[in-house]
Chain A
Amino acid sequence: MTEKKREVTVEVIDGGPIKITGRIVLKDLKRDTEETPGEIYLCRCGRSKTKPFCDDSHNK
């Protein structure tokens, strides 16, 4: 509650990825990982080579 970047924002970027900032727990059921990153960009077009993260493939 005291940390600054605690509040979580989930933003769907038009024509781009999902940007998530703040205090989250990221679980990936396929890779079987659990992380607590500060900021992530998730692929929304299905074409990224680094899924679940965006690699700008939507621009290609």
Chain B
Amino acid sequence: MERDKKSFSGGRKYRNDDITVYWKPDACVHASYCYRELIEVFDPGRRPWVDMKGSTTERIIEVVDMCPTEALSWKWNDEPRNKNVGPEHTNHIKYRRPELSEDNEDLIPEEPVSVKIMRDGPVVIKGDFTFIYSGNRKEMKAGIISLCRCGNSHHLPFCDGMHRKTGFEDK
């Protein structure tokens, strides 16, 4: 993918009235959830590629939370509101990029990592763990990834939904 010439290591910010979305290009693994789910907002072929007017705040949060890396994260512009954001919002900055958070003394849950084998589908891994693939090593904090088990994904090692088309079955 063509690299935005104006990008820098710290990334970029995009705002609407409610939230700010942070983009950290170096962290992107092209899992593609963002543009598959919400091309109106996240269009890699457009400059700027994020258009915060393309959808509702609720929907943007939902899709940013799907990003398996810290490439996309978000916060409320109304700072006090950030304190009450729960860990189900995996990509809120306090879970994904605590360095951007105003109060760092957080509450990242120390729970066992959940590894869920989906019915005739991917394996979904959730929690705090080190993720290693193709020479990359990433520290996931309250992260979630969905890995292909059928072998047919076009975005290996991540699931892209191909198991449904190929009729993958566990037994």
Name A's B-contacting residues (CB within 8 A). Answer: 1, 7-12, 14, 18, 20, 22-31, 36, 40, 42-47, 51-52
Q: Which of B130, B148, B168, B170 makes the CB contact (< 8 A) with A10?
A: B130
Distance between Cα atoms of A36 and B111 in the complex (Å): 13
A7-B130, A10-B131, A29-B118 known; A42 vs B123 contact (CB < 8 Å): yes
Residues in B whose Cβ lies below 8 Å from that of A1: 110
Total cross-chain contacts (CB, 8 A):
89
A18-B147, A43-B149, A44-B151 known; A8 vs B157 contact (CB < 8 Å): no
20 other contacts beyond A25-B114, A42-B117, with CB at 8 A cut-off?
A1-B110, A8-B112, A8-B129, A10-B131, A12-B134, A14-B134, A18-B123, A18-B147, A24-B114, A26-B117, A27-B116, A28-B117, A29-B118, A30-B117, A31-B117, A36-B112, A42-B147, A43-B149, A46-B168, A52-B117
Closest to A47 in B: B151
Q: Contact size class for B?
A: 20 to 34
Residues in B whose Cβ lies below 8 Å from that of A31: 117, 170
A18-B157, A44-B148 known; A27 vs B133 contact (CB < 8 Å): no
Main secondary structure of the interface of A (DSSP, over half): loop
Q: Which of B119, B129, B157 has the most CB of A within 10 A?
A: B129
CB pair A52 B123 closer than 8 Å: yes
Segment 148-171 of B: residues with Cβ below 8 Å from A: 148-152, 157, 168, 170-171
CB pair A46 B151 closer than 8 Å: yes
Q: Which of A14, A24, A44 makes the CB contact (< 8 A) with B113?
A: A24
Distance between Cα atoms of A29 and B113 in the complex (Å): 16
Q: Give, as a whole number of angstroms, the nearest-CB distance from B79 to chain A.
A: 30
CB pair A25 B123 closer than 8 Å: no
Q: Which of B115, B134, B149 makes the CB contact (< 8 A) with A24?
A: B115
Residues in A whose Cβ lies below 8 Å from that of B127: 8
CB pair B152 A12 closer than 8 Å: no
Residues in B whose Cβ lies below 8 Å from that of A26: 115-117
